[in-house]
Structure 1
Amino acid sequence: MGDDGQVLFTDDPTLSAVARYWAARRRGQPMPDRTDIDPLHLPPSVWPNLLLTEPVAGSSAARYRLVGTAHVERYTFDFTGRTTAEIMQGSYRDYMERIYATTLQEGVPVYSESVFRWDASGYAFTRRLMLPLRHGGPSAALVFSAQVWPSELPVHPRSITDLSGTGGFRDGFFIALDPDTFLPRDTRDL
């Protein structure tokens, strides 16, 4: 939560649009079902920033089922069908898997921010909103999310595998949000 008690992402049109859509598709339930979500019902400007992931049984990893083109451009390859264990390393992998686990286990939206040491010339900042989805049952089974990069890249795109393996992940935090208000429930710093 910001110092003024506001929802953390209201300043970002992509994150706000995804939050409004998810909330409307809940229809009085704790979270929408996967069948209630169709990314084509969101503004086309949002599509490149979307992700859909599912947990990998018996693992802390998540598998990417939908990867928007902004991610492909930013990280240099399409990681649809790949897992966090296959494309991420070190503390960044741990960080992302904790966010996915929190979203799934608590069944609530999660907001996160992180900073990468992109190269010798500077840092890149990113923001995410991760939203739980049911898939035929009562509990969270998938994570529908949007990720944005408010700042321009200091240089050319880099592979997420390279970025996470070279100590590029500088720091990050995430906050579980109340599903009705999108206000923070708690903060977890790394």
Structure 2
Amino acid sequence: MAGADRTIETGTILATSASATSYTLVEHAPEIGDPRLSDLLRYWCAKRRGRSVPAYRDIDPIEIPGLLTYLWIHDYDPESERFRVRLMGEAVRSTYDCPVVGIDVEDLVTQAAYPVVSERYRAVLDTPAIGHGRGRIYGHTIGRVGGGERLYLPLADDEGHPRMILGATIYKLLDDPQAAAAVEAGLRPDTMSPVAVL
């Protein structure tokens, strides 16, 4: 039911040994703040063409030039249950100190962060759902706190199975402790909106 504000399920996942983070499955479209991410969602929806999830072959990053530097695509291999980086725009890639295309996501994030990332990605593919987060970005993955917003969307393979994630992350790394503390104070769980609500 679009526009509803009722939470229908919460999944809690271990972020570190000292704390937990969660995602919330909701019955409404994500509440996106950055207009560039709204553009990405509209683009993704247009590519659905009556299907639950658009296919990877239907996505052309050149069609959304304002987002190229923020885009990323991760593949999911159901046999190994691992995610691998297929594409990463420069603004996102620059947060890492190594080449990232072709690398398993598990090797890009901290050991404590991977269960969080994997659980959220699996929710996006298995539901399928639209993942959205705002607040702390990268705090548990690269060990530096950033503030921003992220949208991650399922893509189907040639057989129609959701096997990839198209995402965009717009952020600013926060080296100032006060700014980082403010982001931490405003932290809210990621939401997962089932594609059926759109």
TM-score over 0.5 for the alignment? yes
Unmatched 5+ stretches in structure 1: 157-168, 183-190
* Secondary structure at 1:76 match in 2: coil
Residue 8 (str. 1) matches residue 24 (str. 2): no
- In 2, Cα distance between equivalents of 1:98 and 1:131: 14
How far, CA to CA, are the matches of 1:91 and 1:114 in structure 2? 19
**Cross-structure match for 1:165:** none
TM-score (norm 2): 0.70
C-alpha distance in structure 2 between counterparts of 1:127 and 1:140, whole Å: 23
Q: CA deviation at 1:118?
A: 10
Task: Report whether the alignment pairs 1:154 with 2:152.
Answer: no
Structure 1 residues 82 and 100, CA, compared in 2 at 3 Å: closer, same or farther? same
Residues 27, 123 of structure 1: CA spacing in aligned structure 2 closer, same or farther, 3 A cutoff?
Answer: same
Q: How many residues align?
A: 163
Q: What does residue 98 of structure 1 align with? A: 119
Cα pair 1:107 1:139 within 8 Å, conserved:
no
Task: Assess, with a 3 A threshold, how the Cα gap between structure 1 residues 154 and 138 changes in structure 2: closer, same or farther.
Answer: closer
- The secondary structure found in structure 1 opposite 2:192 is strand
What is the Cα deviation at residue 35 of structure 1?
1.2
Distance 1:107 1:117, change over 3 A: closer
> Which residues of 2 match residues 1-80 of structure 1 at below 5 A?
7-9=30-32, 11-42=33-64, 44-80=65-101
For 1:120-135, list aligned pairs within 5 A: 123-135=145-157
Matches of 1:50 and 1:38 in 2, distance apart?
Answer: 11
Match of 1:112 in 2: 133
Using the size of structure 1 for normalisation, the TM-score is 0.73
Aligned equivalents of 1:68 and 1:103: distance in 2? 21
Aligned to 1:142: 164
Q: CA deviation at 1:181?
A: 4.6
Change in CA separation of 1:114 and 1:92 when aligned onto 2, cut-off 3 Å: farther
Secondary structure (helix, strand or coil) at the match of 1:74 reads coil
